[in-house]
Each structure stands twice: as C-alpha cells, then as structure tokens.
C-alpha cells in the first residue's frame, strides 16, 4: 500500500514537472510546429563554420592595416559577427518562430551584446564615456544640447499554413512565402478580468511602470550624453528595444497568467537587466542634471504617476465588471499559485 502511494505521488510529481517544463519551453524556445520551407530549417552548421572561417581569413590577411582605428573597428565587428553566429547556434529563439527562429536568436544575441556594453560603460567615468562616443563618431564633439531646457523639463509640471511543396501556382508560393513573415497564430490575451487575483493586478501595474522607465531612459540617454535624436546610435537603440520588447512582453504575459510557468523567459530577463542598467547609467552620469531638479516636485510627480497608472489598470477591471457583465472575459482565467 505504501509503495503504491509512493509510486502515485512520484508519477504526479513527474507529470507536474513535465507541465512546468513544457510551459517554460513554449515561451523560451518554442519549436517550429509546421515546417513548410524545409531548406531553411535543415542544419548547416559545418557550412556556416567553413564560410565564417574563410571570411575571417580573407579579411584578416587582405585588408589594409595602416589605420589603428580601422583595425579596432574591424576587430569589434569580427567579435560581434562570431558572437551572433554562436547566438544562432546556441541561444533560445523565445516564443516566436517566424520568419525564422534564427532571427529571434540573433535578436536575443544582440540584446545580450547591448547589455554587456551598458555594463562596461557603467564602470567608466563620464569623461571616458564621452571619449568613447567621440571615438565612435567625432562629429559629436560639435553637437551640444541646451541643458537649461533639459533642466526645465526635469522640473515636473503638476498640472495554418499549407505545405510549400503542395502549392502549384507561382502566386500561391509567393503568398505562402510572404506569410512566413507573419505570426504563426493570433493568441488572444487577457491581462485582467473580474476574477483576477491581486498578484495579476500588481504584475500589470509593474509592467506599466517598466514601460514608463524605458521611455524616460530614451529621453535621458540622448540628453545626458548629448546626441541628436537623428543620430544612428539613438535610432539603433530604439529599433533594438522595439524588437526585443515583443518577445519580452509575451514571456512576461505567460509568466503572469500561466499557472504552469514558474520562470520568466530569458529574453524578458535580459530586457529587465537592460532597463535597470540604462537607468543606473543615467543616474550615475546625470548627477549635475538631477541635482538641480526640485526634489519635492519630483516626488509628488512620481506619486501621481504611480497612482494614475494603478488607477488606469483598476479602471479596466471595473469596466469589465460593470459594463461587460455578459462578456466572455468574465470566464474564470487561470490563477498562478504564488
């Protein structure tokens, strides 16, 4: 009898563990359910290695090495190139598989490189960061921001798919190829409903705060380090953040709403680290700017921002509770056990 009970408990634990693993895998490294363009999903690791090594050999022995700056740039580009190749081979693709898992692995690898660059800059002095930026783009020496206007801003104002081979027509093949750049499926999301727990409410409020911090980082980074809005570094950062936010929010949503998901996805984790590191970089190098802000007004502004954000989230709950009582959203949603 005892052995039977132990086997039953062991079987239940194994099934529960498998559910947890499957839930995490679906957002961290989702497999491709329907492979239509088989050529792009076959492993080409040896070919990739041979092409990569041949490219490095050619550029290392043929290029002109008379310029030190060009040599450093070439070395950095080679490191980034090989790091992204390793990303394609080893990193998870996250919750998305289109247009190809390799694309999202490169996105994840790029986000890791950006995080490492931020951590490196965090341990440099303000003048050193400027010299690095001037080395990247000497034209930045001639650009300056009117910091009086920035300080004025910092004083808050209180006011299913068919198999490609089975498609006979050329138009159909083109249409199927274009569909490869669209989502595999549209998944309905429901952040809140009247049956949500208070932890779901706190998680969504936290997401709103993170979003606002990311917006502030965009503003302060280009003003503290004096870069024009049209500078390639500013545009590249906006594009990178915009791309990595998509899988990050999806992973965060699954972690918040799926009882079987006990870990946050790796892309979401890296994005959180990027957001915090950017904020620390702004605070560390913007002491003069923040020192002239009116602290009392800043505190009041932050309190109002938090209250308004939480109020908006709570308003969504009240709307569904009183204005859509017969909606399908009133169906009980899964609850995480915290």
| CA–CA distances in Å: residue 212 to residues 144, 174, 206 | 26, 40, 10
99 belongs to a structural domain: yes
| CA–CA distances in Å: residue 211 to residues 1, 151, 207, 251, 275 | 55, 23, 6, 15, 9
171 belongs to a structural domain: no
285 belongs to a structural domain: yes
Q: Mean pLDDT lowest for which of 161-175, 197-211, 244-258?
A: 161-175
Give the mean pLDDT of 268-283: 93
Give the structural domain span for 58: 2-161+189-330
24 belongs to a structural domain: yes
Give the mean pLDDT of 97-108: 84
Give the residue from 243, 203, 241 showing the smallest Cα distance to 222: 241
Q: Give the C-alpha separation, 63 to 135, whole Å.
A: 21
Tokens 């559910």 belong to 19
34 belongs to a structural domain: yes
Write out pLDDT tens, residues 233-263: 999 999 999 999 988 988 888 888 877 778 8
CB 88 within 8 A of CB 106: yes
Pull the structure tokens for residue 304.
């109002």
pLDDT reported for residue 144: 78
172 belongs to a structural domain: no
Q: Mean pLDDT lowest for which of 15-24, 88-97, 136-145, 304-313?
A: 15-24
Give the mean pLDDT of 201-216: 84
CB 80 within 8 A of CB 113: yes
* Exposure string for 279-317, b = 16+ CB within 10 A, e = fewer: bebbebbbeebbeebeeeeeeebeeeeeeebbeebeeeb
Give the mean pLDDT of 117-125: 94
pLDDT reported for residue 260: 79
pTM for the full model? 0.74
- Which burial class, exposed, middle or buried, applies to 35 when counting CB atoms under 10 A from its CB (0-12, 13-18, 19+)? middle
CB 74 within 8 A of CB 63: yes
- Which burial class, exposed, middle or buried, applies to 200 when counting CB atoms under 10 A from its CB (0-12, 13-18, 19+)? buried
pLDDT reported for residue 202: 80
- pLDDT above 90 as % of the chain: 20
pLDDT reported for residue 293: 67
Q: Give the torsion through C-alpha atoms of 237, 238, 242, 245, to 10 deg.
A: 60
179 belongs to a structural domain: no
Domain count for the chain: 1
Give the mean pLDDT of 58-73: 87
pLDDT bracket for residue 160 (50, 70, 90): very low
Write the secondary structure of 96-116 as one string of H (helix), E (strand) and C (coil).
CCCCCHHHHHHHHHHHHHHHH
pLDDT bracket for residue 283 (50, 70, 90): confident
170 belongs to a structural domain: no
């Amino acid at each position: 009898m005892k052995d039977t009970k132990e086997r039953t408990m062991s079987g239940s634990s194994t099934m529960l563990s498998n559910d947890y693993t499957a839930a995490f895998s679906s957002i961290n490294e989702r497999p491709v359910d329907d492979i239509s363009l088989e050529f792009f999903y076959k492993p080409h690791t040896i070919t990739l290695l041979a092409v990569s090594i041949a490219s490095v050999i050619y550029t290392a022995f043929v290029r002109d090495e008379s310029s030190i700056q060009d040599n450093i740039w070439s070395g950095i580009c080679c490191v980034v190139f090989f790091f992204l190749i390793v990303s394609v081979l080893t990193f998870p693709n996250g919750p998305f598989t289109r247009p190809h898992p390799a694309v999202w692995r490169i996105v994840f690898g790029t986000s890791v490189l950006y995080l490492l660059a931020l951590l490196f800059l965090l341990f440099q002095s303000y003048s050193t960061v400027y010299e690095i930026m001037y080395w990247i783009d000497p034209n930045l020496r001639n650009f300056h921001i009117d910091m009086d206007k920035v300080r004025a801003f910092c004083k808050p104002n209180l006011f299913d798919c068919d198999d490609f081979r089975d498609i006979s027509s050329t138009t159909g093949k083109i249409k199927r190829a274009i569909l490869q750049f669209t989502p595999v499926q549209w998944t309905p999301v429901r952040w809140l409903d009247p049956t949500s727990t208070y932890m779901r409410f706190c998680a969504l409020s936290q997401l709103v705060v993170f979003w606002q911090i990311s917006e502030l980082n965009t503003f302060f980074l280009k003003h503290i380090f004096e870069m024009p809005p049209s500078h390639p570094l500013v545009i590249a950062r906006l594009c990178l953040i915009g791309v990595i936010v998509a899988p990050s929010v999806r992973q965060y949503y699954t972690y918040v709403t799926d009882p079987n998901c006990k870990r946050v996805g790796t892309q979401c984790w890296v994005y959180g680290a990027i957001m915090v590191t950017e904020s620390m970089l702004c605070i560390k190098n913007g002491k003069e700017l923040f020192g002239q802000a009116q602290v009392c007004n800043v505190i009041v502004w932050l309190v109002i921002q938090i209250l308004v954000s939480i109020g908006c989230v709570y308003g969504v709950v009240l709307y569904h509770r009183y204005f859509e009582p017969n909606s399908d959203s009133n169906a009980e949603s899964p609850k995480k056990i915290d």
